[in-house]
Amino acid sequence: MNICVIGAGYVGLTTAAVLSDLGHHVTCVDINHNRIDMLKNGVVPIFEPGLKEMIIKNTSNNHLTFSTDVKVSIAENPFIFITVGTPSSGDGIPNLSFVHSVIDDIATSITSYKIIIVKSTVPPGTNEEIVNMLIEKGVDPTLFDIVSNPEFLREGSAVKDMLEPDKIVIGVKKPELIQLIQKIYKEINAPYIVTNLTGAEMIKYAANAFLATKISFINEIARVCDAYNVNVKDVAFGIGLDPRIGPLFLQAGMGYGGSCFPKDLQGLTYAAKKKNLNPELISSVQKVNETQIDVYVNKLKTAVPSLEGKKITVWGLSFKPGTDDIRHSASIRLIERLLEEGVSINTYDPVVQLKKPEIKCYQNIYESVKQSYILIIATEWAEFNQVNWKKVKNEMEGNILLDGRNIIDPKTVQQAGFHYLGVGQH
């Protein structure tokens, strides 16, 4: 099948790579010329395991091509996937301008029937609005159908998640569209959840809100565990065995970040308020997450009353392991907060190098801790558990280790001479 994927970001590139790998002919388009030039030259602008190999394989066999000509690509392909960004505007309202710009391009270039598949995460009601927008722009309603097909991949395992999803959600206005979408995803074995356009949008928002709720829940429990000298991991394990609760997404730490949870909870709040509802639980989930950094900074300040002038090394910059994405990273928020205390910051991350004069980025993990007073683990990269702790300690001036992700065994680092600080882990 001939498919156009609009947007060459985390979702767009993964969609384009996977669909081309499944045998379709895919054109991936983006208005970012630099990005498309890189892709045409075999350079994949994001770090995502397995993505580069899949892109190179499918560009070599001509199943996947890249372009900056959005209108031509729309005109040439019957299936149009929209995967552009839907960031939060400053006040938390979802910024749909990128989606609207694609709709404008479709309205001005459509001459034959298109199925427009919206993968971008959008607030409830958006896909219905898209139908109306196209009609208002003079597009004949028989020339298009809209399918809401939200994406549930996680960064760091995007390719695998798209090849082995736990479900495929499709929102449609006409039942005959279901089979066409199933044809696109023929090789993928997953149950289909079929609903209307707004239902699919709500499933996406509700999924992210629930996952974020689990994280804020366990972070709140960790604060209480801390006060009672209880290990929150024991509590998470204990409750997680109950199948009604489940063991996943109960890892306490500095809180959730990334390009999705923060903005989608804001988007859900906005959507609820628009209908005069007051989403109290979602507001509390956000509040716990926003104050989680303070819990760690306060912990540090109890151990080291004056942070001013101290050198601190932070391991981990990306918002989670396996990605180079630093959007809404808890680590970056922590660094900004610490800089306000007058500290100097060294960092090490396996894939991210920041370009900020006030932050020193190292490519060698042991170099990064030289003469540091405090070491902070801010992202749960597995390699942070494989270091020689004695060597790390010897390089440092101080001995404080703040474990912002509860990934370190306190005894191991205490034996190496560290003073271990955690929240809900001792």
Biggest alpha carbon distance in the chain?
Answer: 72
- Interatomic CA distance for residues 325 and 40, integer angstroms: 22
Binder among 32, 195, 196, 399 for ligand NAD (CB under 6 A): 32
Candidates 9-17, 72-80, 209-217, 244-252; binding stretch for ligand NAD (CB under 6 A): 9-17
Is 260 a catalytic site residue? yes
Burial class (CB in 10 A: 0-12, 13-18, 19+), 188: middle
- Is 259 a binding residue for ligand NAD by CB under 6 A? The answer is yes
- Is 251 a binding residue for ligand UPG by CB under 6 A? The answer is yes
* 14-53 residues near ligand UPG, rule: CB under 6 A: none
Is 86 annotated for ligand binding?
yes
* 214-243 residues near ligand UPG, rule: CB under 6 A: 215
Of the residues 4, 28, 225, 260, only one is catalytic, namely: 260
CA 42 remoteness from chain centre: 24
* 149-178 residues near ligand UPG, rule: CB under 6 A: 151-155
Between 83 and 208, CB nearer to ligand UPG: 208
Cβ within 8 Å of residue 319, ≥6 positions away: 155, 257, 258, 259, 325, 326, 327, 328, 329, 330, 331, 379
How many residues comprise the chain?
426
Contact 338/402 with Cβ under 8 angstroms? no
- Is 320 a binding residue for ligand UPG by CB under 6 A? The answer is yes
Contact 216/262 with Cβ under 8 angstroms? no
Shortest Å distance, C-beta 382 to ligand UPG: 13
- Is 70 a binding residue for ligand NAD by CB under 6 A? The answer is yes
Is 155 annotated for ligand binding?
yes
CA 425 remoteness from chain centre: 26
Between 85 and 257, CB nearer to ligand NAD: 85
Shortest Å distance, C-beta 381 to ligand NAD: 18
Between 329 and 425, CB nearer to ligand NAD: 329
- Is 250 a binding residue for ligand UPG by CB under 6 A? The answer is yes
Contact 112/76 with Cβ under 8 angstroms? no
- Is 324 a binding residue for ligand NAD by CB under 6 A? The answer is no
Between 240 and 417, CB nearer to ligand UPG: 240
CA 49 remoteness from chain centre: 14
- Is 208 a binding residue for ligand UPG by CB under 6 A? The answer is yes
Shortest Å distance, C-beta 268 to ligand UPG: 12
- Is 85 a binding residue for ligand NAD by CB under 6 A? The answer is yes
Closest to 119 measured CA to CA, from 71, 61, 66, 158: 158
Binder among 7, 316, 398, 424 for ligand NAD (CB under 6 A): 7
What is the number of H-type helices and E-type strands within the chain? 16, 14
250 binds, among ligand UPG, ligand NAD, none (CB under 5 to 8 A by kind): ligand UPG
* 145-174 residues near ligand NAD, rule: CB under 6 A: 151, 153, 155
Residue 183: φ, ψ to 5°: -65, -40
* 78-107 residues near ligand UPG, rule: CB under 6 A: none
- Is 253 a binding residue for ligand UPG by CB under 6 A? The answer is yes
Count other C-beta atoms under 10 Å from residue 157's C-beta: 15
Residue 404 tokens, joined: 């912002």
Closest to 317 measured CA to CA, from 298, 336, 295: 336
316 binds, among ligand NAD, ligand UPG, none (CB under 5 to 8 A by kind): none
Contact 137/105 with Cβ under 8 angstroms? no
What is the size of the binding site for ligand UPG (CB under 6 A)?
20
Strand order in the sheet with 344-348: 359-362, 344-348, 311-315, 374-377, 400-403, 419-421
Interface with ligand NAD (CB under 6 A): 6-12, 29-32, 35, 70, 83-86, 98, 101-102, 120-121, 151, 153, 155, 259-260
> Binding site for substrate: residue ranges?
152-155, 204, 249-253, 257, 320
Active site (catalytic) residues: 260
> Binding site for NAD(+): residue ranges?
30, 35, 86, 121, 155, 263, 327
